[in-house]
């Protein structure tokens, strides 16, 4: 509160000089009052540009997709898409196929280009979607998980205009403040089926998968397919139809791509992940020449420790086997074959009758 010239205190005003003096007194008490000229910079207040740079919100850095400051620390746990080199091959194949498919679909000159492939958290991506837009939830049948496709408003009205016979040379009209009509939703859904079919075909050389259309949403809250903190791959595609067009964004969570992660790690199609076929052949040849010890087990008995301790010279063990009983052949503790024991010339022999198939759960 500050006093007016007539001595009255005006409500809502603050005596700036008194407040400044109080701050200086507090600073002198903390610093001892002996700060030099250089120490005065320690009390300098950061301006807005420095705060944005510290938080990683610098506009210049965001244009280059480079993160800095606290933003870089928080997002350091995200897996970079560069660790999945085969994804670029898949999306390049998708771009070529979409160009042809959309030309046939619209009977117009369509050019599709890949703007970027980035990693993002699912919650951050949903918050960054410019509305109005249509969000398509689709399911990867063989991978048993979901993905998300976003079509922006510009492309929606461009597709509607083209399919309903709009003249060339006129920009698509953008109408705000109303929900999409049934006709607009049906026309866009037809285009989405074409894109999903191309996406399935783009993954075919790597791993056969069917992307099935699930539902179409306009509210991002109803298009949630993963936890907000989960990492995902976001591919941004640009669709140009002469003077019209828009963007299509594909989001694939890392959980969806997990079944084919090893295939996406390849540097090129058909890579063997660094394995050398020469060494594989050499190791196989040496394994076939390895000598192993095989034991024939006639029978097994379960005895207590007390019974074993009572054994003396001349004690007998009665085995529940006959000359026609089957004998197990083991390599260590692994049962390999079962056969019948006999004699050939002056040697004891065993004829293998069948092979024992091991249970993988008990190996």
Where are the domains positioned within the chain? 1-35, 46-59+68-78, 84-264, 291-309+318-362
Instruction: Note the pLDDT of residue 36.
Output: 46
Instruction: Note the pLDDT of residue 132.
Output: 84
Task: Give every residue of the chain whose pLDDT is below 50, as ranges.
Answer: 2, 9-13, 31-40, 61-64, 363
Strands 231-241 and 326-331: unpaired
Instruction: Note the pLDDT of residue 33.
Output: 46
Instruction: Note the pLDDT of residue 9.
Output: 47
Instruction: Note the pLDDT of residue 59.
Output: 52
The CATH class for the domain spanning 291-309+318-362 reads mainly beta
- Report which of 222, 9, 239 is spatially closest to residue 113, judged by C-alpha positions: 239
Global pTM reads 0.56
What residues pair up with 114 in beta bridges, in sequence order? 237
Q: Which CATH superfamily is domain 84-264 in?
A: CheC-like (3.40.1550.10)
User: Is there a shared CATH topology between the 84-264 domain and the 291-309+318-362 domain?
Assistant: no
């Amino acid at each position: 509160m500050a006093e007016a010239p007539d001595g009255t205190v005006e409500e809502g005003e603050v005596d700036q000089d008194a407040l400044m003096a109080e701050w200086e007194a507090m600073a002198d008490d903390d610093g001892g009052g002996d700060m030099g000229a250089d120490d005065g910079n320690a009390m300098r207040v950061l301006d807005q540009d420095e705060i944005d740079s510290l938080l990683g919100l610098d506009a210049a850095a965001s244009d280059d997709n480079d993160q800095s400051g606290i933003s870089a620390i928080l997002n350091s746990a995200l897996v970079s898409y560069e660790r999945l080199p085969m994804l670029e091959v898949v999306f390049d194949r998708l771009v070529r196929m979409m160009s042809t498919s959309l030309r046939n679909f619209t009977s117009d000159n369509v050019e599709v280009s890949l703007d970027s492939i980035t990693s993002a958290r699912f919650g951050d991506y949903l918050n960054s979607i410019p509305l109005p837009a249509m969000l398509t939830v689709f399911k990867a049948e063989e991978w048993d998980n979901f993905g998300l496709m976003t079509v922006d408003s510009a492309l929606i009205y461009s597709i509607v205009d083209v399919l309903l016979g709009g003249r060339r040379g006129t920009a698509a009209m953008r109408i705000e403040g109303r929900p999409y009509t049934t006709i607009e939703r049906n026309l866009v859904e037809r285009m989405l089926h074409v894109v999903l079919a191309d996406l399935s075909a783009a993954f075919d050389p790597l791993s056969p998968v069917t992307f099935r259309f699930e539902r179409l949403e306009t509210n991002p809250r109803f298009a949630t397919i993963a936890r907000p903190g989960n990492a995902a791959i976001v591919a941004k595609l640009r669709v140009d139809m002469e003077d019209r067009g828009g963007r299509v964004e594909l989001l694939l969570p890392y959980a969806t791509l997990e079944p084919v992660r090893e295939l996406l790690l390849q540097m090129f199609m058909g890579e063997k992940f660094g394995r050398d076929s020469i060494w594989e052949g050499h190791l196989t040849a040496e394994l076939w020449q390895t000598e192993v010890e095989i034991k024939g087990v006639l029978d097994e008995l379960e005895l207590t420790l007390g019974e074993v301790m009572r054994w003396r010279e001349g004690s007998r063990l009665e085995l529940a086997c006959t000359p026609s009983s089957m004998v197990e052949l083991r390599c260590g503790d692994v049962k390999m074959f079962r056969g019948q024991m006999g004699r050939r010339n002056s040697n004891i022999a065993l004829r293998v009758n069948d092979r024992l198939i091991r249970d993988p759960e008990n190996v």
